[in-house]
Structure 1
Amino acid sequence: MLEVQFSKYTVNGVMSENLLKLEPSEKLSYAVEEMLKNDIPEVLVIRTLKEGEQLLGILTYTDVSALMQQGVSFDKPLSSVALKNVVTGTEEMLLTDARQTIIDQNIGCLPILNGSRITGIIRIANLRDSYYRFLEIVNKQYMAVIHQMHEAVTVTDRDGNVLLWNKNAERIYNMKASEILYKKLEDFFPNALSLSVMKTGIPIENVYHSPKPNYYVIISALPIIVDGEYLGVVATERDVTEYNQLTNELVNANVEIDLLKKEVEKMTKGSFSFGGILGNNAVVQDRIELAKHVAATDTNVMLTGESGTGKEVFARAIHEGSRRPGLFVPVNCSAIPSALFESEFFGYVGGAFTGALRTGKIGFFELANEGTLFLDEIGDLPLEHQAKLLRVLQDGMISKVGAERRTPVDVRVICATNRNLAEMVKAGNFREDLFYRLNVVEIHLPPLRERREDLVLLFNRFLEEGCKKNHRKMPHVDNSVFNALLNYNWPGNIRELRNVVEYMLVVGRSNQLTSESLPSILTQAGMISPCEDRAGEVLTASETLSEVESKVRQKEIEMISKALEAHNGNKKKAAEALNIPRSTLYYKISQYGI
């Protein structure tokens, strides 16, 4: 590179015009006297012609010294002692060519001709001075380029001394070049990759590294070898912090998109607005009204009840009713491994621990920022993690694993459990302070066996959804099916009912669902011992069936008739008023002969 740049210069800009020209008849003594007086290291022996000058020879200080040692008389003319057959160059000659000629001919200077006139001379000193001057200019240019590079650049010699430390290296490591130049790199960075390359000679390329918190670089360290000789190591570090942050944002955005997609899929299967929660049962209606009232606040809510009673449905409805702009993030506390609690709930920065993603990970709390975090099975959370959860609820701040600073979050927490947390507090298995922090408003959801009047309503909703999912037409449901449903005790509650409906649609082979389509556990329900109703009376299975079925039938007929009458027989508007699909309304009208 230097040679290419240097070759742009010709001898015309570098040659010396301070010349000593003498005729061949002049004595050697006079020539030496003139050389000393004018401080010129050579004499050009010329003959002046009409058309120019003829160069006959040259005499240098070195030549004079040799003549003195030989005892040659200084009275001799220059024609007899001057070196003949002088090598010359022209003003258009490149400096590189002049330099090579001097080296090849083993001479100390090169007279320069312009036509037939001697206009200057190139001496070794001229070449040296111009060459070093040019090197200085090029060095400044190269250093300016190196300091403007986006990468941090470090160069060490074979002994590990720092020879170059550019501006970006200063910025990344907050260390001025004056502090580290010509000192051992190992004294400042004992784990530097350059040291490894220095020992092994093996290049290291594109290694991801975080030299300081929240800062990320891609490092390459290569040995410097010139003409087979090892001279040192050059290391470059490309700042990828911004890319890393953008990647984190993209990953987090993808997480949110995936969550939103799941939420949309769930929303398409059934509305989670309060109007979409089905139930004519008075207790359920009371719980819906309480949930509506609580939704407008930021109060933490505790949903209790047996497994499968619809606690997550209520939680989603509360979130939808709250109008909080963030996401609804459901978390099953019993499914989070203890070792991953902090990284899952609070997230971590890239490279926080072995095996961590380079991009870091967003936690549940940050994902639910300005939204709702639904903690299902909160009673299964170990005591050691309860304290960490309480700290976040108190401070509104999370500490990501590996981060230096805490992150503020605005999260509404809704919890759910099928366990008796008050008893767990007494037994020392649940923190009392966390219990009161979470249990500001408790909403208890009754089991399905205590709201049998909603069985048919829920069954028809799940049947409608199942037909859409499995691309089936709405089948006719035999009364024997409803008899079995009403006679069953439903230990799995609403979740079990949904599964039963899906089972019937899968195994049913006709457009009619009969008791033969039911799971065997329901067909055996008539042989189960009598069950106890909400008032505490012990009724036989047949008595429970007849009373509840009659009540459900009469209630549905009454509601459908009033809706049709209120909307002048318009079935579409009546179905909307009843909050049921139009196909379900048609089925009911046909079933009850309305």
Structure 2
Amino acid sequence: MFSIPELKKVEEVMDIDFKTIKRDISVRSAVDEMIKNNRRTLMVVDENDTLEGIISMTDIHNFKRDNPDIDNINIERIMKKNIVSVSKGVSIDYCRDIMIKENIGMLPVMENERVIGVLRQEHIRDFLYMHLEDYGITLKYIIGQIKEGICAVNKEGIVILWNRFMEERYDIKSSDIVGKPISDYLENTICERVLKTRVGISDVYYTYKKQNMYGLVHANPIFFRDEFVGVVCTELDITEARNLSYELEQTNEKLKYLQDEVKNLSNGIFSKILGKSDKIEKAKSIAKQVAKTNSSIFIWGESGTGKEVFSRAIHEYSGRKGAFIPVNCSAIPSELFESEFFGYESGAFTGANKKGKPGIFELAKDGTVFLDEIADLPLNMQAKLLRVLQEKEVRRIGGEKTIKINPRIISATNKDLEKMVKEETFREDLYYRLNVVEIKIPSLRERKEDIGILLHSFLEEMCAENNRPLLSIDKEAYKILENYRWKGNIRELKNTVENIVVLSGNSDTVTAEDIPSYILNSVEEVSSEEEYPMDLTKATSKLEINNIKKALSMTRGNKAKAAKILNIPRTTLYYKMEQYKISI
């Protein structure tokens, strides 16, 4: 049943049982021959069997209306001499088109100037009817399997084709919509617009049939022999198109920032910020995104999380021409803040450099100023800093000349600035000026999956610095370091690794014995004392979940044995496993 349309040749369909007569016989004899052979049409040939013409009962009847006595008239006077014929080997489709064009019902088939068969309308009709159903089923199946919507309507807007993709997309069965106006089911379609304009359209559209469903539709008018017969629409789900567009954008982005990506090989670029956890990747993504802008950036993170490393990476990635100037606000004496920030002229105060000194903003100019521990900036300096940021100019102490600056400001702290704003220990207007974009750097406790990456990197670095062969670390030691809370974060981890490398002796493997005792004690305390919430209901649930999982682990998933260990009925165990969504 599943087949392809065969391109039949004329000799496979033609009638070879045709009759011929000579051109010199009478009409009476021709009629007798027709009656005798039950033929309405005869081929007229000469003595060499070359086709001379065709005579039919219709030709004789039409001639007789004006000439009643025609029995003895020679058929040469009546026969059609301008014969349209085809040669052996041509296709049935070609023959059909000729018969339609010439408005004839029969075609002689020739070979070497002789008639070898006759093709009539009924031959073509019978052949097409025999295969039409099979072709229809084949076509319907193929169109149904196409992963693209196909809809066809005639010139009156009646749906004549609606494939499976369209059925699933619009929840409209083909059996319901075919044979009915498309406007009865869908409103203001692109298909209807093409019906009116007869001009092809490609467009994205939205339909209310399903929420947030968009389609990319190509609608084209169909003309058959210059006559408009309908519209065919193909539809592609916009999600797939968006995916392609996204991939193209990503490729263009990589090309556009190729130089910046190459820079990632140098110190301070984002590739040097170790870790693959979701939280650190999100922080790096935000940092990259805002690095090229001029917006002020506020970095929040606990001590030792790498705030300065992030700020240096942002500066390098930004491509700014000026320098990166880091300032630890907590390390500057209050009386020196102004001179450090804005600089001073020669003789501005006792003990000053005779040549004067530029301040950090002047040094940075078109670069980046990193204000670490910004929460420790005195209130009087907060007001002056805000003025500099707003006016983008500084004046040295003791000087009269204003210096234009345009540095990027990155500030950082581990304190709660919002709380300080409420307590009026930090200026609200400065806070919002600095915190245009906030980047939160997660603590090491929030990204335990990165500990392994950092641990091996620091081991490699410290072994190289101390001329030691690269140490490996056993599972027990690794587990202890992974479970430690690392209040000092990356800085504490790095110092711990250095301690281990220096004191490891001749061993080539780090074991639990090499780990500082304070870490071992801390991990033991955490493991021995399970933390439970104060809410008794939540605490009970947590205890039940832990014990059920432990029992199932001990029995290797045997529920009957686990229920016995837990001292509860098996049905209760099934209920609680379903309640807490515990799987084996």
TM-score by length of 1: 0.44
